[in-house]
Amino acid sequence: MSLFLTGLSYKTAPVEVRERLAFAENALGEALDALRACAGVDEVLILSTCNRVEVAVNSAGSAVPQQILDALSAHRGLDPAWLSPYLYTYEGREAIKHLFRVAASLDSMVLGEPQILGQLKAAYSAARQHGSVNGFLDSVLTRAFTVAKRVRSETGIGRSAVSVSYAAVELARQIFGDLGTRQVLLVGAGKMSELAARHLQGAGCGRIFVTNRTRTRAEEMAALVSGDVIDYEKFHERLPGMDIVITSSGAPEYILRKDEMKQVLRKRQNRPIFIIDIAVPRNVDPAVDDLENIYLYDIDDLGREVEANRLARQREAEQAEQIIDEEIQRLFDRMRVREVTPVIVGLQHQLEEIGRAELDRVRSKLGTLTPQQEEALQAYTRGLLNKIAHGPMTEIRRAASQPEGDRILSVIRRMFRLEDS
């Protein structure tokens, strides 16, 4: 049996292609059945996310990639010739390495993001429940989860923010520590501020308020983040009660200026305020940053933070790649040991049969033996056979970790006539 992986991702296919191949959760069972119906296929896993669709197969067939292409195309009503240029295929060791890298988020659009591991575990669980993963592929996937855990614990690949919205939350944490009692005001209801608000909500921020020139849009945003709406004409009055302010208004001029923020600080008794200005053109007068206890970051500041963190993750990824190479070698060493076990057992059985036959032949010539003589004869036979077996056994075990292992095992099988073992 051999492992094959065929799929496409954000690296090889645009979203309009990925969405045509993507599988809804309720359609996975039928697709798994269609793939298992391919000749020689024993196990199948389908991983379908917004950034990738991949099929991993354990099969004895040699035409598996073409079978997968045909089955996927037929199931999704696509022309195989149209789909084929977007696909990549890995086999054996390379397929295992790819699965390990995916699990460890080294192949993700955002390096180090944690979601892909959960998605792979969900795909594995669905395949297990459907009975399509139950052997070698099962062991590879469970090992992939262990590898991902090791990468997370031994590297810092997931520690630094690599999106603008998440970077804003990390900076807020640096300023305030616990965000559980902090109040947030969103001025404007753009997509970027929505993402930042979602991250702040996920970080346990105390309360979120939303204001926007168009009140209905403010109400929609507030509903998304379990927040409250403030009338746009009145949000300046509420500034002293806010710890974090995120601005993304389309206003053509500054909506927060230095003199006003001086008054806000006075009312707050100089308690710090964190302002994230992600609007272009900017909503906050850069001079506001001159005020003590106001921490102002614009989109470029956040971008520089993200780039520094991205480079830091890239350095951590190099260590993660070493971990994956170690784990792949460990997996293959274990597989080789399992491969040579039948040869060892067969050789032992062969020698025991030879020993018994020779003992019977000698006994017939020697006549009746005393118990001491019988024991001595058996000990002599065992010792002789152990000495004969020592060399081949050593070579068999050595072959488990050597590139020429298959050739060594083949010679030993022929020498001791173990072809049927």
Q: What does the DSSP 8-state code read for residue 416? A: T
Does a structural domain hold residue 319?
no
- pLDDT at residue 151, rounded to an integer: 92
- pLDDT at residue 394, rounded to an integer: 77
Contact 361, 384 (CB under 8 A): no
Contact 44, 133 (CB under 8 A): yes
Listed residues 154, 183, 215: the one ending a domain:
154
Contact 151, 320 (CB under 8 A): yes
- Catalytically active residues, by annotation: 50
Mean pLDDT of 91-108: 93
- pLDDT at residue 62, rounded to an integer: 67
Our CA angle for 399, 401, 404, nearest 5°, is 50
User: How many domains would you assign to the chain?
Assistant: 3
More confident residue, 192 or 185: 185
Which pLDDT tens digit goes with each residue over 195-226?
888 888 888 888 999 999 999 999 999 998 89
Give the tokens for residue 208.
């979120």
- Both 194 and 275 in one domain: the answer is yes
Candidates 187, 161, 163; CA nearest to 174 is 161
Place of tokens 């989860």: 145
Q: Percent of the chain beyond pLDDT 90?
A: 42
Listed residues 112, 136, 154: the one ending a domain:
154
Q: CA separation (Å) from 161 to 71, 153, 167, 246, 272?
A: 40, 17, 5, 18, 22
Give the tokens for residue 274.
């964190």
Contact 85, 9 (CB under 8 A): no
Q: 16: domain CATH number?
A: 3.30.460.30
Q: Which long-range contacts (CB under 8 A, 24 or more apart) does 257-261 make?
A: 257/285, 257/287, 257/288, 258/285, 258/287, 258/288, 258/290, 258/291, 260/236, 261/288, 261/291, 261/294
- Both 177 and 44 in one domain: the answer is no
Give dist(CA 278, CA 283) in Å, integer: 8
Give dist(CA 15, CA 6) in Å, integer: 18
Which pLDDT tens digit goes with each residue over 65-89?
888 999 889 888 999 999 999 999 9
Phi-psi region of 226 (alpha: psi -120 to 50; beta: other; left: phi over 0): left
3-state secondary structure of 216: helix
The number of beta carbons lying within 10 Å of the beta carbon of residue 76 is 15
Does a structural domain hold residue 134?
yes
- Both 298 and 365 in one domain: the answer is no
- Both 22 and 145 in one domain: the answer is yes
More confident residue, 176 or 197: 176
- Both 142 and 176 in one domain: the answer is no
Confidence of residue 337 (pLDDT cuts 50, 70, 90): low
Instruction: Give the burial string for 382-409 (b: 16+ CB within 10 Å, else e).
Output: eeebeeebeebbebbeebbeeeebeebb
Residue 115 has pLDDT above 60, yes or no: yes
Least confident of 207-211, 228-232, 277-281, 334-338: 334-338
Residue 405 has pLDDT above 70, yes or no: no
How high does pLDDT run on average in the chain?
Answer: 86
- Both 117 and 14 in one domain: the answer is yes
Residue 363 has pLDDT above 90, yes or no: no
Enter the pTM of the model: 0.62
Domain around 253? 164-307
- Both 189 and 276 in one domain: the answer is yes
- pLDDT at residue 373, rounded to an integer: 85
